[in-house]
Amino acid sequence: MISRRTFLSIFFASCLAVISWLNFAPTAYALGGKLPAINQPAPDFTLPTNTGNGKLSLSNLRGQWVVLYFYPKDFTSGCTIEARRFQQDLPKYREKKAQIVGVSADDVDSHAEFCDSEGLKFPLLADTTGAVSKAYGSWMSFISMRHTFIIDPQGIVRDTFVKVNPAIHSKEVLARLDELQKAAT
């Protein structure tokens, strides 16, 4: 039996998710919390990574499009499929001057092993405290939820994906990125 407080928390989160899904609220919410607003600056961050100099800041990626995707856990089936699809499409993202960045609560060592085992050539960031995932409305207790954000070269959130099918997600993001880039020219 769950406590009344737990029940109310679950009920409230579910109601927010339904309201967000129905688009009745001016502020977008997902099960993980409040999402950054479209056409507003993306929350900046610096997190440890398995690549480069060991840390990556969103502000260091200014001047290029960023596909920032949050995922639950390295080596799980859905997360592996999603990462493989992004890797498969990486040349197309690079043609569009877009950087893919993955974020989960796993540590840098786990990310390094995951990248090695899957041949991933894009950075994975270690959000072990969940602070960045929270800032992006993508945190559920101890894992990041599967959300993706397209951020333009000026650091502005241009689109959000909260209902993600890992098998086709990269194609969806590529198509939307193409639309956004054409609209920006």
Fold annotation for 32-184: Glutaredoxin (3.40.30)
The one-digit pLDDT tens for each residue of the chain (185 residues) are: 666 655 445 554 554 444 444 433 334 555 567 899 999 999 999 999 988 789 999 999 999 999 999 999 999 999 999 999 999 999 999 999 999 999 999 999 999 999 999 999 999 999 999 999 999 999 988 899 999 999 999 999 999 999 899 999 999 999 999 999 999 88
- The pLDDT value recorded for residue 52 is 79
Q: Find how far residue 94's CA is from the centre of its chain.
A: 18
Nearest alpha-carbon partner for 132 in 110, 158, 103: 103
Q: Are 71 and 110 in contact (CB under 8 A)?
A: no
d(CA 135, CA 13): 17
Token code pair at residue 110 = 């786990």
Write down the pTM of the prediction.
Answer: 0.82
Q: Is 111 left (phi over 0), alpha (psi -120 to 50) or beta?
A: alpha
DSSP 75-130: TSHHHHHHHHHHHHTHHHHHHTTEEEEEEESS-HHHHHHHHHHHT--S-EEE-TT-
Domain ranges across the chain: 1-29, 32-184
- The pLDDT value recorded for residue 27 is 45
DSSP 8-state secondary structure symbol assigned to residue 58: G
- The pLDDT value recorded for residue 109 is 96
d(CA 120, CA 36): 27
| CA distances (Å), origin 30, targets 20, 95, 127, 156 | 7, 31, 19, 19
Nearest alpha-carbon partner for 107 in 61, 52, 49: 49
- The pLDDT value recorded for residue 51 is 82
Active centre residues (catalytic): 79
